[in-house]
Amino acid sequence: MKKKTLHIKNMVCNRCIKVVREEMEKLNYNVFEIELGEVILTIDKDNFNMDRIRTALENNGFELIDSRNANIIERVKILIINLIHHNSFKNLSEINLREEIGKEAGLSYQYVSTLFSSMQGITIEKYIIHQKIEKVKELLVYAELTLSEIAYGLGYSSVQHLSNQFKKITGLSPGYFKKLKSKKRKPLDKIV
């Protein structure tokens, strides 16, 4: 028995981990370790079928990542999603995103930024803004925090800065969005 690490695109939440684990077990693979974007299987070389794995993952909206660069980008996206959406709402202004991204990728931020833009068709900065706006939508829908608390927690310099970005991305003011009680939220893996 040996271990095989698979890198998986679009694995962005705990439910994704559960689905991938279940799919691997249905295919009779032993999951040694699993986390966002990665699963380590204990495999018998004679019983390993990458096509079956690829099909099972694709049927659930995931993709296998085959290239080193795609793996770097997926790890960066998962880091950003974790910091914005699964951060127990700590103040993002206290986190140096450039430093964290460079550390996660093991490369300079500038290199990762250029790679991200070329592979995703959007800058890291715009990706972060879209993730933040999606988090704002969530918090507005559930009405747990004031707009001021949301702006502070997501590292915005002011409520006005947040409001301007929100309107630019959604076409609506945060107040109007909240009044609509809109559920126009996007899945995290479908943001830009």
CATH of the domain at 102: 1.10.10.60
pLDDT digits 0-9 by tens, 87-142: 755 677 777 888 989 998 889 999 999 999 988 899 999 999 999 999 999 888 88
Do 168 and 128 lie in one domain? The reply is yes
Q: Are 20 and 62 in contact (CB under 8 A)?
A: yes
Q: What is the pTM of this model?
A: 0.74
Pair of tokens at residue 3: 């271990």
Number of domains composing the chain: 2
Do 116 and 144 lie in one domain? The reply is yes
Q: Which of 66, 93, 115 is the last residue of a domain?
A: 66
* Angle of CA points 75, 79, 82, to nearest 5°: 135
Task: For residue 28, give its domain range.
Answer: 2-66
Cross-strand bridge partners of residue 6: 39
Pair of tokens at residue 79: 């880091």
Do 61 and 28 lie in one domain? The reply is yes
Do 74 and 152 lie in one domain? The reply is yes
Q: Are 160 and 175 in contact (CB under 8 A)?
A: no
Structure confidence at residue 60 as a pLDDT band (50, 70, 90): very high
- pLDDT value at position 90? 62
* Amino acid sitting at position 175: G
